[in-house]
Chains A and B, each alone.
Chain A
Amino acid sequence: MRINWNELQEKSFYQATARERANGIVDDGTFKEFLGPRDKMVSPHLIILGEAVEYDDGMTAGVGKIGKHPVFVISQEGKFVGGALGEVNGAKMSYTLKLAIDCYDAMKEKYGKVPDDRKPIVVVSYDSGGVRLHEANAGLVAHSECMECMWKLQNKVPNISIIGSSLGAYGAQGFVCLSADVVLANDYGRIGLTGPDVIQQEVGKDEFDASDRALIWRTMGARSKYILGDVNFLLKDSIKEFRDKIVAMSDLPMSEISKYRHLGSEELVEENLNVVKIAGREKINDSKDLWKYYGNENVDELPELPQEEFLKVVKRRPRGL
């Protein structure tokens, strides 16, 4: 299918397919896909189970350019088996990350240093429930490989997570996405370890009603994560908005980009533990209590406001506390 890049820019990120997102994030016509649908690399496990397969195994991975930066893009497709990671799409993800590291190392070896305006960048667009249960062990191995790569990327290659598709980032993908340097999201984004239905099943409907989607979003949704600091930038829902943000950050020195991190040092672990302590001490029963704690008064209105107004009035958790 031909992709019109200019039309893509205006398209809702939330409604775009994985391939559209991947193509739209990088410069027009620069995206080269690894193991695309024409290669027909499908999951061998799903075939044994008699399940439907897709020729890209639910993932678009490849490399494109933003200016002079090589940009390694991984884009998950939630419409295929919940975007979950199995053997093939997992390998596509970890090998693309590996290529970014190799690219950095090769540039460094050849030129002595990697200039800020040419350094490689990793962008992952998440849309996944975590591990694909049909091939659980392979999926878990893929996750650990990705995590290993993400630690190697640290302080070398900017690693940007986008949480803007219908499934968000759940299960193991929940912590993989937060291992990045920067997390971008639109209002529809969600991040969590355990999905709402599983929580309800384990602790009961009175504790967590999985059919109450307002509750889900104020607990796991982008606005709440923005207040808490897990999401660094809350953006409008178009591919262009996300691309523009990445373009604007692309030339920043690595030391600046690393400042947005949530994990990866002892101080950051302390910072995260502190939030847990506050939640216990202040008897937080609902995200709204936490929003209030960080200085927000109109907590009932916050989810309802148009995004511009939300960004104007919201008070966020101060970093480093």
Chain B
Amino acid sequence: MEDVNFVKNIFYSPRKSKRTIDEKIEKAMKGWDKNGIDTEKRMNEAKKFTKTGSKVVQPEDCISLLETVIRSGDNVTIEGDNQKQADFLAMCLTKVDPAKINNLHMVQSCLALPEHLEVFKKGIASEVDFCYSGPVATDLADMVMEGKIKIGAIHTYVELFSRMYLDLQPKICLVAAAAADKYGNLYTGFNTEETPALIEAAKFRKGIVIVQVNEIVDKVPRVDVPGDWVDFVIPTEDPYYIEPLFTRDPALITESQIFIGMLSLVGIYSKYKINTLNHGIGFNTAAIELLLPTFGEEMGFKGKICTHWALNPHPTMIPAIESGWVETMMPFGSEVGMENYIMSKPDIFPIGPDGTMRSNRVMGQLAGHYAIDAFFGSTLQIDQYGNSAAATAGRIPGFGGAPNMACNAPGRKHPSEGWLKASREDGMRKDLIGPIDRGRKLVIQMVETFGEGMAPVFVEKLDAFDLQKQANFPIPPIMIYADNITHIVTEEGIAYVHKCKTLKERMDAIKAVSGYTPLGLTADDSKTQKLRKEGVVALPEDLNLSFNEAKRSKLAAKSMADLVKWSDGLYQAPTRFRNW
């Protein structure tokens, strides 16, 4: 009988256990549950917004609900990343009375909507800790200079999520879900992303969780977040906003990007046998995805590279998936229009018992940190040492998730061929830790030497330093530090910068692939020749490739319509990407 009681104790639900809590513990709790008592008080005041036995609040009551449960100075998290937005709650938060509620400390992964800045303009919030602010980068910089907003710190995704469990605990959690029942059980579906992580951070610190939902249903397709972690659900008229952030139209891929893709496939992917990888956002990586079924197959790379992806399920992957290149993909979020296609490929995507996908931003980012051999990305500026940044004077775009993936994972212990090869080639390793095999993630920057508006990508000094001065940041907003980069690929060739033995040598290797940028023009030809001989720099002819071969006809899909065709009509291109 003792065993049965033991099991019972373990499986008691939290509510029940509170009622039956040991008297002795309850006595000892006095003075140690201020947070819980405060929340209970707020929840009692908010009872008028719900009917008994239901957590549903009508959307027209949302502003008063927020004014009832939020107190000045609270830590508030609002869901909004680079894809999914709790936009209704963001709008309601701008409408609360700043005389009643002010000085909120916002902890949110993204500043993306105008409403996210509006709460600061109106004085409702005063401080923010965040990761990414691309869509409002200019406005944010202006507000920082004017002193209208105080930035705690700019983080990367997992960095901020983990701080929400330690020193930035949210008292109020405002998130979005696809559907809920009246008990608060949530279906977050394809775009589950970070919703459960935010809710857990708040709920298990006695926080209050408010969820905007696209619809209230009798029974959710599956429970992504259990109802007792949720306090209020609000059905909204319009579904929450999702940005098709990762979708790239193949029609816009240039031959120069195709050439960089070919160089990378021959000079990096196949040389290091890259099987586990992440691709950043951009046309360079989209070009590579579309070269796999054509150029990749011609070169005999199929099955040897690119099998496991920490990547969002974006449409330029469809031809590679259909051609049998991909074994699994682990998504951070979903991608608008891909839902039906994803459902048709349960071997590749994480599909729940209900048949729809569940994405997971935290585990996706961790896979991107620990489980991949290579990160391939792009950037706006690279300095003479190899540091890169997307921040320029007058713009604060933040970081997002790239630095979590575009860095070596020194804690990693599981070996793979490419990971060991990169470390054995490392020119500085022996001098740091002795002749020990330790492994190294490949971090590859693929850039055209001149970027948008013909601005040189290679510069002596990053604009990020100007921004640091302007905004008075303690550290410069550098996206990826030079010592994390292993390769830089441009249309001029590949620099294997991790092979360099000194900083001086690395600077020469970078110059060798910087083309006609002011930095590239200072390259010393005799040094470049020496680096080529040593295998630190590879020009296209060293890889038996020529720009004349880089033709758009090599792309497996040349337009959005081609992608729809590859998917057999299952991919539904968002209206902004259509030209039919």
Contact = CB atoms under 8 A, between A and B. Distances in A.
Interface in A39-70: none
Contact of B580 (A166, A188, A215): A188
B577 interface: yes
Interface stretch (A149-157, A206-214, A252-260): A206-214
List the 10 closest A-B pairs by CB distance, nearest first: A214-B575, A213-B578, A212-B575, A188-B579, A187-B580, A213-B575, A211-B576, A214-B578, A213-B576, A217-B580
5 contacts: A14-B559, A166-B579, A187-B580, A213-B577, A217-B578
Nearest to B551: A7
Contact of A211 (B552, B575, B579): B575
B558 A221 contact: no
Contacts of A15: 251, 552, 558-559
- Of B559, B561, B577, B580, most buried by chain A (CB within 10 Å of CB) is B580
Task: Specify the main secondary structure of chain A where it touches its partner.
Answer: loop
Contacts of B561: 187
A85 B576 CA distance: 27
Contacts of B575: 211-215
Interface of B: 251, 552, 558-559, 561, 569, 575-580
Interface in A292-314: 303-304
Nearest to A186: B580
Contact of A213 (B251, B558, B569, B579): B579
Nearest to A210: B576
- Of A188, A211, A215, A221, most buried by chain B (CB within 10 Å of CB) is A188
A212 B574 CA distance: 9
A287 interface: no
B576 A212 contact: yes
A12 interface: yes
Nearest to A303: B580
A256 B267 CA distance: 60
Interface of A: 12, 14-15, 166, 187-188, 211-215, 217, 221, 223, 303-304
A303 B578 CA distance: 11
A212 B576 CA distance: 5
A12 B558 contact: yes
Nearest to A213: B578
Nearest to A209: B575
Contacts of A217: 578-580
A214 B577 CA distance: 9
Given A12-B558, A15-B251, A15-B558, A221 B580 contact: yes
Contacts of B579: 166, 188, 213, 217
Contacts of A303: 580
A12 B555 CA distance: 13
Contacts of A223: 580
B565 to A, nearest CB: 8
A212 B578 CA distance: 9
Contacts of A14: 251, 559
